Every structure is written in structure tokens, then in C-alpha cells.
């Protein structure tokens, strides 16, 4: 995967050049995560350049973004439950401490996670999990991508 799009994730999604995009939703782009140490990890990217925080959006777009986050979370939950009987739940997070653009993390959680990490925030996983080629997004995740995308298509979007 060419990494240039990573320098401008939202701009590349708007231009159709971000290979992680699953679907353009009402207020953002559903993308599959660069790392898959927790299979099904996705991110919702706001679909406007320059938006740093939820409060930067007008109220209607803000509600649409939160609705998209819920929709992506449900799609990930349905897909992961279908693919892995050890699926437990989905964690939804809007943080923004590292990347300065509005985005939400959708983390599936599993019973098979290490006992010392299963009840903790994902951010406490060791660095090698985040950077390892073993967990990097690749062609072996195509079926997972497809199932999440199909689930997104089946779930209703924002009600006007």
C-alpha cells in the first residue's frame, strides 16, 4: 500500500485515493484501520477538511457524525460477531490527542485478548502490536472489509 495518502487521510478520501475507505457515510468516511491486531478495527473520518473537533461542526452535521459513528460501530459489531465467536463488544472513542482532525475509533474487543489487557483501553497494548507487519492491513483482510461494508449498506443512515 502506498503510504502517501496517510499524510492527508481526509483529503485523499475526498479525492477517492484513500485505499482504506469502506464507505462515504452522511458526515464522514468509514475506513478500516491500518492495523488489525484487533480484527475489524475501523475509524470514522470527518468528511470536511479543517475540522478538528466535534464542536467545529454545525449541530446538524455534528449529530450526523455521531450517527455515522453509531452506524459504523454496529456494522463492526455485526461483522465481528459473525466472524469470531469470541467477539465481546465494541468500544467507541473520539480522542484527537495525536491527529488534529475529527475522527472516531471503533475497536472490537474479544475474549481471546491477553488477560492483562482485555479490560484496559486499547491504547495500552504494546507498541509492537501497532507497528508489526503481522497485523498490518493487507489483502488477507479483504473478506473482513467486505463484510463490514455490506453491514454498513444494510444499516439505515441518518434520518433527516
Nearest partner of 41 among 87, 100, 1, judged by Cα: 87
What the block records as the C-alpha cell of 5 is: 495518502
Q: Is 50 within a domain?
A: yes
Task: Calculate mean pLDDT across residues 59-63.
Answer: 96
- Residue 158: per-residue pLDDT: 58
Choice among 96-100, 103-107, 111-115, 141-145 with the minimum mean pLDDT: 96-100
Report the C-alpha gap between 38 and 129 in whole angstroms.
Answer: 9
Task: Calculate mean pLDDT across residues 55-79.
Answer: 97
- Residue 4: per-residue pLDDT: 85
- Taking 50 as the threshold, does the pLDDT of residue 160 lie above it? no
DSSP labels, the chain = --SGGGGGHHHHHHTT--TTEEEE-SSEEEEE-SB-SSTT-EEEEESSTT--SGGGS-HHHHHHHHHHHHHHHHHHHHHHHHH-TTEEEEEEE---SSSSS-EEEEEEEETTS-TTTTTS-GGGS-HHHHH-GGGB--GGGHHHHHHHHHHHHHS-----
- Residue 1: per-residue pLDDT: 45
Report the C-alpha gap between 31 and 121 in whole angstroms.
Answer: 21
Task: Calculate mean pLDDT across residues 126-145.
Answer: 93
- Residue 145: per-residue pLDDT: 96
Q: Is 68 within a domain?
A: yes
Q: Is 159 within a domain?
A: no
- Taking 80 as the threshold, does the pLDDT of residue 125 lie above it? yes
Name beta bridge partners: 24. 29
Mean pLDDT score of the chain:
93
Number of domains in the chain: 1
pTM here is 0.93
- Taking 90 as the threshold, does the pLDDT of residue 157 lie above it? no
Map grid coordinates 473520518 to a residue. 45
Q: Is 148 within a domain?
A: yes
Q: Structural domain of residue 71, as residue ranges?
A: 4-154
Predicted confidence (pLDDT) per residue in 74-101, tens digit: 999 999 999 999 999 999 999 988 888 9
Predicted confidence (pLDDT) per residue in 1-35, tens digit: 456 888 899 999 999 999 999 999 999 999 999 99
Residue 117, domain CATH? 3.30.428.10
Q: Is 160 within a domain?
A: no
- Taking 60 as the threshold, does the pLDDT of residue 73 lie above it? yes
Nearest partner of 107 among 41, 45, 152, judged by Cα: 41
Amino acid at each position: 500500500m502506498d503510504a502517501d495518502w496517510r499524510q492527508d487521510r481526509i483529503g485523499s478520501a475526498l479525492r477517492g485515493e484513500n485505499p482504506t475507505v469502506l464507505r462515504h457515510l452522511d458526515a464522514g468516511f468509514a475506513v478500516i484501520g491500518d492495523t488489525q491486531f484487533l480484527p475489524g478495527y475501523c475509524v470514522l473520518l470527518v468528511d470536511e477538511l479543517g475540522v478538528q473537533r466535534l464542536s467545529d461542526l454545525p449541530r446538524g452535521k455534528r449529530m450526523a457524525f455521531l450517527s455515522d459513528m453509531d452506524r459504523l460501530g454496529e456494522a463492526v459489531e455485526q461483522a465481528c460477531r459473525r466472524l469470531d465467536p469470541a467477539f465481546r463488544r465494541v468500544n467507541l472513542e473520539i480522542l484527537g490527542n495525536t491527529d488534529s482532525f475529527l475522527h472516531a475509533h471503533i475497536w472490537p474487543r474479544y475474549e481471546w485478548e491477553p488477560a492483562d489487557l482485555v479490560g484496559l483501553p486499547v491504547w495500552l497494548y504494546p507498541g509492537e502490536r501497532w507497528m508489526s507487519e503481522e497485523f498490518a492491513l493487507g489483502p488477507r483482510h479483504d473478506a473482513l472489509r467486505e463484510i463490514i461494508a455490506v453491514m454498513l449498506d444494510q444499516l439505515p443512515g441518518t434520518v433527516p
